[in-house]
A and B are shown apart, each in its own frame.
Chain A
Amino acid sequence: MRPPTTAPDFDTERVRAIANELASLDGPLLPILHAINDRLGHVDERAIPVVAEVLNLSRAEVHGVVSFYHDFRRRPHGRHLLKVCRAEACQSMGCERLVEELETSLGVPMGGTTPDGRLTLETVYCLGNCALSPAVMLDGELHGRVDAARVGELLLRAGR
């Protein structure tokens, strides 16, 4: 099966430029990985030796950091990213039912991407919107007091 979103050609020089740009910060590794993640959409396996070389770290050290944090993705997500909060405050307002409904209506499990590469569904533990639960974040925008119908509207508005 074809992967949902094809990875763009890997651009070694772009990764090296990002790493060099931020290398002078105190503790530069997380800012560099964030910048790669944001600008290239994910942290490709091939970025690891490049970053390691710029920072004079071992590949294992960089790999260890990339794999520790939820934010650094190993492959691109769908064109849209929906994070659904499943922490206690949202649980108290029925987020688990919302998750079931979304999984059914979108035909994709939490953590998965729709076959057309349009949407990735992710679990998040707390968006800090706990007085307006259930909360979701769609492409970086926070939404409160949602239900499956409201999420459907948001996705419709987000487009392809």
Chain B
Amino acid sequence: MSAVVYVPMDAAALSVGAEAVATVLGQELVVRGIEARLVRNGSRGMLWLEPLLEVETPEGRIGYGPVGPADLPGLLDAGMMQGAPHPLRLGRVEDLPWMACQQRLCFARVGVIEPLSLSQYQAHGGFAGLRRALALGPAATVEEVVASGLRGRGGAGFPTGIKWRTTAAAEGSPKYVVCNADEGDSGTFADRMLMEGDPFTLIEGMAIAGIATGAEKGFVYIRSEYPHAFRQIQRAIHVAHEAGLLGDDVLGSGQRFHLEARLGAGAYICGEETSLLESLEGRRGQIRFKPPLPAIAGLFGKPTVVNNVISLASVPWILANGSQAYRDYGMGRSRGTMPIQLAGNIRRGGLIERAFGLSLRELVMDLGGGTATGRPVRAVQVGGPLGAYWPTSLFDTPLDYEEFARLGGMVGHGGIVVFDDTVDLARQARFAFQFCAEESCGKCTPCRIGSTRGAETIDRIIRGERVAENLRLVDDLCEVMTDGSLCALGGLTPVPVQSAIRHFPEDFDRAALAAAAE
């Protein structure tokens, strides 16, 4: 058997030179007459170590990283293909603290297998969930997902099984399954990593959703900023259709499920489920009034399950291992695991899948190692551009939907963006309004107009004009936006703004402080 060496093709790994590493490695192997199979895997999620190269050895997979093309001759001279010592050698990848502390259910195969190899997918437990769903039948499959306690991982945290139950019971035909892969929140990349590193898990989850709800057609709506993920899902859908895992006879069950990948067109609002449906139908991505719920009248007015990538990709494990096994992870009403993404100004950034309950301190300081710049951490924003800014004094808060909500924040899609002490929270608050103004679909007034007025008012505060009065005005505006907006964009833009004001008041009074100092 020839040796096997892995070089990731994940977009993040490519962004720091993985393609050049793979090319040079391929040439070096030929020149040196080394017989080896070069596998392009997904990323393990230790993004500060990318490009992370792995070699299969009798002791397991040995990692080297970060590897640049120029390191390769030296690595090969040192005996990398046998897992030999070298300054870049990291040891067994599974034993690295970052990996060893995780509970990877959804991401179990990401970075491990060749993403488009169905045989490897099945060898690592793939399609066990779909087979069990086919054996259980639709109603029992829905109840299994309900019992697991899985909540929407896209941000809203609505119980996935309840959505499925509603669609299954709804009158109307055809029904649809739509995967929301419009991962627009800054600080998040879990959907992207999963789609690039293990696309069949998403496909399997969608097929299960189709069988459970009676939908025979599915769409994956992927943002256009993710060209690599889009191509990967397209290839995976093709492979799955060819192999009879999708199509008119899913795994020989006689059930139909067809899947299509669709590209977004650069609109953040299309991550909101009703805007996404409008966009899929070929219209402006303007949100719809609810009710009716998409589960009852969604795509083309038909009953539609709309779930996030990670929600759907969690389902195969739940079906394969049982709802109780999934429920055993987590705390309170936050059951199961959550892929957490450490991002921004962070020394060790990447993806960690763990049961709910880790504190921000454990995540940012212990696992993440503090800031990349080496300066003190001052704030983190959790849950994307609509999530709260947290001061370090709240770092003992455990990651849990209810705990975060109690303190005025949200888990969202699990992204944590770290800022050092050079951050100006007044500017971040202004950006929250500006972003809302740029991305508003324009349907409701609080969002469309309020966002612009908000940015202008924060500008006045930054300039030191009638600060107390303008802060009251911002507060009032935030109340209107929270209560009066039609969707989460306008409704949650006040969250980053008000958390910044509450936890970092000194940043909103800099002009006065500067004047007093003179």
Give chain A's interface residues, CB within 8 Å of chain B. Answer: 25-31, 33-34, 55, 61, 64-65, 68-72, 87-93, 124-133, 135, 137, 140-145
In the assembled complex, 29 residue pairs joining A and B whose CB atoms fall closer than 8 Å, in A order, are A27-B300, A30-B279, A34-B265, A69-B266, A69-B267, A70-B265, A88-B187, A88-B385, A89-B186, A89-B187, A89-B344, A89-B415, A90-B186, A91-B431, A92-B417, A125-B385, A125-B435, A126-B184, A129-B11, A130-B186, A130-B341, A130-B349, A131-B12, A131-B341, A131-B350, A131-B351, A144-B12, A145-B15, A145-B16
Smallest CB–CB gap between B301 and chain A, Å? 12
Instruction: Judge whether A129 and B372 touch: CB under 8 Å.
Output: no
Of the candidates A29, A31, A145, the one whose C-beta lies within 8 Å of that of B283 is A29
Chain A CB within 8 A of B188 CB = yes
Instruction: Judge whether A126 and B185 touch: CB under 8 Å.
Output: yes
Smallest CB–CB gap between A136 and chain B, Å? 9
Of the 9-residue stretches B107-115, B222-230, B247-255, B354-362, which lies at the interface with chain A? B222-230
Query: How does the 8 Å CB contact mask read for B265-288 relative to A, with 1 for contact and 0 for none?
Result: 111100000000001111111100
Instruction: Judge whether A125 and B267 touch: CB under 8 Å.
Output: no
Give chain B's interface residues, CB within 8 Å of chain A. Answer: 11-12, 14-16, 47-48, 50, 183-189, 192, 217, 224-228, 260, 262-268, 279-286, 300, 341-346, 349-351, 372, 381, 385, 415, 417-420, 423, 428, 431, 435, 438-439
Given contacts A88-B417, A144-B12, A144-B15, contact A133 B344 (CB under 8 A): yes
Q: Which residue of B lies closest to A61 (CB)?
A: B283
| Contact partners of A135 in chain B: CB under 8 A | 15
Instruction: Judge whether A65 and B227 touch: CB under 8 Å.
Output: no
Of the candidates B224, B266, B268, B415, the one whose C-beta lies within 8 Å of that of A130 is B415
Given contacts A30-B262, A133-B343, contact A88 B428 (CB under 8 A): yes
Most chain A beta-carbon contacts within 10 A, residue among B189, B192, B263, B431: B189
Of the candidates B48, B225, B260, B342, the one whose C-beta lies within 8 Å of that of A126 is B225
| Contact partners of B217 in chain A: CB under 8 A | 26
| Contact partners of A93 in chain B: CB under 8 A | 344-345, 372
| Contact partners of A30 in chain B: CB under 8 A | 262-263, 265, 279-280, 282
